[in-house]
Amino acid sequence: MSIQQLFYTLQLADNALINGHRLSEWCGHGPVLEQDIALSNISLDHLGQARSLYQYAAAQMNALPMDAKLNLFASVALNDKISKGETIEEDDLAFLRDSWDFKNLLLVEQPNEDWAYTIVRSFLFDVFNLYLFNSLKNSKEEQIAAIAEKSLKEVTYHIRWSSEWMIRLGDGTEESHRRLQQAFNDRWMFSGEMFEASNADKEMLQEGIGVDLTLIKNQWQQHISKVVEEATIMLPTNNWMQTGGKQGKHSEQLGYLLTELQFMQRAYPNMEW
Amino acid sequence: MNLIKKYYYGDIPEEKGGQDKSTAHDHSKEWPMWEVFIRSKAGLDHKHAGSIHAADAAMALENARDVYTRRMEGVSIWVVESKHIHATESAEADAFFEPANDKIFRHPTFYNLPDEVKYM
């Protein structure tokens, strides 16, 4: 167990939670009932993955000595619990950490905007997840391998869903094609961060727990190119990429998201329902 | 105000498309309706579960999966566009079904079955 392994687990968990929350915002607002339910199902898959990962992260955190875990995160509420010697649970990691404690990709915190932006974000992330989990199922760390194995089936369906929508919109009407291309161009700069190795990524690769992101990048690029071609849109030529999410430097969007996501636990600490 | 919407199923002309006739707005851009049949486990029949809207067969299968099998209800799904279902008219129900009412001898209850035959 190491702090980098905890951070690595949180990278995975935060991606799942924030992406799942974003998709859940569509609940009750979907363009048709069937797609509303489809998105809620996918959202719940991500939240399920997040729960498994947070449980594992909480166990790792509780095993750390006091001086290692106190002030590991900036959140006053979390440190207050730790200093009292309380056991940290999955909900504490989800609801009590602050924006700069989160290690999710900038991509997943970007707002839904419209159907095209939502599809593009899901598509870019789903393809990444497919190759990430496919590789993680061989992780030396049993817990991570087991979660990857279970998630893989869900992710395979997510890709099917988002890829088909990429093709429907891109190869659809003139308006849907234009709006998908616009969304793809606008979200493209958030795709580079997926393959940028953080300290946690590097250390976990060395220990056989993590994955080689350069390999995943190749697989991801090939997969993306194929669907983009079928969707008759263009890959953006601008390759300037945003960075920062894995280091806790987030866009303002995450702040608004967490305000809503964490409201109940912040206003009514330890409430259950 | 017309509060009761009337839907037509079954043998109806293509141009009506099984649509709600009581509202005035344009349905021509809506996705067609599909009937969903679910097999709950291997060996059992596919049973009608309900209907969904979808743009094509691939989307219909996915929508059916998301709407009707999210609580482990099925292992196999059939979908068929609703316009391909032909149904009896309720006005003709008497002619279709009543003649069978007084012919109970068609049930195999008048035969003596050997005890070994358990399922008839």
More confident residue, A124 or B102: A124
A35: chain B residues, CB-CB within 8 Å: 63
- pLDDT-derived band of residue A165, with 50, 70 and 90 as boundaries? very high
Q: How crowded is residue A74: how many other Cβ atoms within 10 Å of its Cβ?
A: 13
**A73-87, A246-260, B10-24: which range is least confident on average?**
B10-24
Asked if the Cβ–Cβ distance from B58 to A164 is below 8 Å, we say: yes
In this complex, do A41 and B66 lie within 8 Å of one another by their Cβ atoms? yes
- Residue A227: CB atoms within 10 A of its CB come to 18
**Residue B9 predicted with pLDDT over 60:** no
Give the B-side interface with A, CB within 8 Å.
31, 52-55, 58-59, 62-63, 66-67, 70
- More confident: B106 or A242: A242
Q: What is the full DSSP assignment across A36-102?
A: HHHHHHHHHHHHHHHHHHHHHHHHHHHHS-HHHHTTSS--HHHHHHHHTTPPP-HHHHHHS--GGG-
Give A62→chain B minimum CA distance, Å.
35
Per-residue pLDDT at B18? 47
- Give B72's pLDDT tier (boundaries 50, 70, 90): confident
Is A37 in contact with B54 (Cβ distance < 8 A)? no
pLDDT digits (tens, 9 = 90+) for A94-152: 999 999 999 999 999 999 999 999 999 999 999 999 999 999 999 999 999 999 999 99
> Quick one: average pLDDT of A8-15?
98
Number of Cβ atoms within 10 Å of the Cβ of A145: 16
Over residues B27-48, mean pLDDT:
91
Beta-carbon contacts below 8 Å between A and B = 25
What pLDDT sits at residue A168? 96
Confidence band of B39 (pLDDT split at 50, 70, 90): very high
User: Residue B3 has what pLDDT?
Assistant: 56
For A45, the closest chain B residue by CA position comes to B70
Query: Beta partners for B46?
Result: B39
Q: Do A38 and B70 touch (CB under 8 A)?
A: no
Instruction: Judge whether residue A237 has pLDDT over 80.
Output: yes
Note whether B66 contacts A37, CB cutoff 8 Å. yes
Cβ atoms of residues B68 and B74 within 8 Å: yes
Q: What local confidence, expressed as pLDDT, does residue B25 receive?
A: 59
> How close, in Å, is residue A37 to chain B by CA atoms?
6
Write out the two tokens for A125. 């992330």
Q: How confident is the model at residue B24 (pLDDT cuts 50, 70, 90)?
A: low
More confident residue, B5 or A208: A208
Quote the distance between the C-alpha of residue A221 and its chain's center: 18
For residue B48, list its beta bridge partners.
Answer: B37
CB contact under 8 A, B62 and A161: yes
Q: What is the mean pLDDT of residues A267-272?
A: 89
* Residue A270 clears pLDDT 90, i.e. is over it: no
Task: Look at residue A40 in the predicted model and tell me its pLDDT.
Answer: 95
How long a stretch of residues is chain A?
273
The band of B15, judged by pLDDT with boundaries at 50, 70 and 90, is low
Percentage of residues of chain A with pLDDT beyond 70: 100
What is the C-alpha separation between B49 and B28, in angstroms, rounded? 26
The 10 Å Cβ neighbour count of residue B115 is 5
Instruction: Give the gap in angstroms from C-alpha A164 to the nearest C-alpha of chain B.
Output: 9
For the stretch A212-233, pLDDT in tens is: 999 999 999 999 999 999 999 9
- Give residue A93's pLDDT: 97
Query: Domain A3-267 belongs to what architecture?
Result: Up-down Bundle (1.20)
SS3 A141: coil
Lowest mean pLDDT among A25-34, A53-62, A122-131, B24-33: B24-33
- Phi-psi group of A140: left, alpha or beta (phi > 0 → left; psi -120 to 50 → alpha; rest → beta): alpha
Average predicted confidence (pLDDT) for chain A: 96
Mean pLDDT of A20-43: 95
pLDDT at B12 over 60: no
CA gap A132, A261 in Å, rounded:
26
Answer yes or no: pTM beyond 0.95: no
Give the per-residue pLDDT at B1.
46
Is B67 within 8 Å of A32 when comparing Cβ atoms? no
Chain B CB within 8 Å of residue A161 CB: yes
Convert the pLDDT of each residue in B53-71 to its tens digit: 999 999 999 999 999 998 8
The yes-or-no verdict on residue A267 having pLDDT over 90 is yes
Of B53, B58, B62, the CB nearest to A38: B62
In chain B, the domains with their CATH numbers are 33-90 (3.10.20.520)
In angstroms, the CA B99 to CA B58 distance is 42
A61 to chain B, minimum CA–CA distance in Å? 34
Contacts of A38 in chain B (CB under 8 A): 62-63, 66
Residues of chain B in contact with residue A161, where contact means CB-CB under 8 angstroms, are: 62
Contacts of B53 in chain A (CB under 8 A): 32-34
**Does the beta-carbon distance from A35 to B63 stay under 8 Å?**
yes
Q: What is the dihedral of CA B82, B84, B89, B93, to 10 degrees?
A: -100
User: Average pLDDT over chain B, rounded to whole?
Assistant: 81
The band of A32, judged by pLDDT with boundaries at 50, 70 and 90, is very high
Residue at A99: amino acid letter = S
Residues of A in contact with B67 (CB under 8 A): 33-34, 37
The number of C-alpha atoms within 13 Å of A94 and in the hemisphere containing its C-beta is 29
